[in-house]
Amino acid sequence: MAAVARLTITLPDELHRALKETAARRKKTIGDLVAESLAFYGVKSSESARELVARARRRAALSEAAALELARKETRRVRRQ
């Protein structure tokens, strides 16, 4: 099992209620929704981002600059969906 960190955040009451309702409706935990949202917005550790760029470079034989630009474009594309 992967390590799990705990986090405390402060939200306006209305947003907290909406988050709880959404979690219940989707039969998920609030933590699940937060983690999915962060993944959707491309939040990654520096190590994960470097590995993503390294994989792209290996697959496409790109220079570091070209691979980084491709990763940036893909991140922007996914965020717009």
> Which residues lie closer than 8 Å to 57 by C-beta, 6 or more apart?
63, 64, 67
Reported as a single tens digit per residue, the pLDDT across 14-55 is: 999 999 999 999 999 999 999 999 888 888 888 888 888 788
Cα gap 79→42, rounded to integer Å? 7
Q: Is the pLDDT of residue 13 over 80?
A: yes
Q: Is the model's pTM score more than 0.85?
A: no
